[in-house]
Chains A and B, each alone.
Chain A
Amino acid sequence: METTLVKSNFKSEEYFINMGPQHPATHGVLRLLLTIDGEIIKKVEPDLGYIHRSIEKMCERDSYQQIVHLTDRMDYLSSHINNEAVCLTVENALQLELPDRVKVIRTILSELTRIASHCLWWGVMGMDVGALTTYFYGFRDREMINDIFEETCGARLTMNYNIPGGLMFDIHPNFVQRTKDFIAHFKTKLPEYDTLLTGNVIFQKRTKGVGVLSKEDAISFGASGPVGRGSGYSCDVRKHHPYSAYDRVTFNEALKTEGDTFARYQVRIQEMWEAMSIIEQLIDNIPEGEHKVATNAVIKLPKGEYYQKVETARGELGVYIISIGTKNPYRLKFRSPGFSNLSLLNHIAVGGKIGDLVASMATLDLVIPDIDR
Chain B
Amino acid sequence: MSYISDIYTGIKTLLTGMSVTGKYFLTSRKGAITQQYPDNRSTLKMFERFRGEVVMPHDENNEHQCTGCQKCELACPNGSIEIIWDRGIDEATGKKKKFIDKHIYHLGLCTMCGLCIEACPTDAIVWAQNFENSTYDRTQLTKVLNRPGSKVKAGVED
Contacts and interface: CB of A to CB of B under 8 A. Distances in A.
A133 B28 CA distance: 14
Contact of A199 (B13, B21, B77, B112): B13
A151 B55 CA distance: 19
Given A150-B50, A192-B20, A69 B77 contact: yes
B14 A154 contact: no
A153 B113 contact: no
A87 to B, nearest CB: 14
Nearest to A197: B17
A172 interface: yes
Contacts of B36: none
Contacts, number: 70
A195 interface: yes
A163 interface: yes
Nearest to B12: A201
Nearest to A192: B20
Contact of B77 (A66, A150, A201): A66
A26 interface: no
B18 to A, nearest CB: 9
A158 interface: yes
B118 interface: yes
A154 B112 CA distance: 9
Nearest to B76: A66
B49 A69 contact: no
Interface residues of B, number: 25
Contacts of B20: 192, 195-196
Given A140-B33, A201-B6, A168 B114 contact: yes
B51 interface: yes
Contacts of B127: 154
Contacts of A192: 20
Nearest to A155: B51
17 contacts: A62-B77, A66-B77, A69-B111, A133-B17, A133-B21, A147-B47, A152-B49, A154-B49, A154-B50, A155-B50, A192-B20, A196-B21, A199-B16, A199-B17, A200-B16, A201-B9, A201-B10
Given A66-B115, A152-B49, A202-B13, 15 more contacts: A68-B113, A70-B77, A143-B33, A147-B47, A150-B47, A154-B50, A154-B114, A192-B20, A195-B16, A196-B17, A196-B20, A199-B17, A200-B14, A201-B6, A201-B9
Interface of B: 6, 9-10, 12-14, 16-17, 19-21, 33, 47, 49-51, 75, 77, 111-115, 118, 127
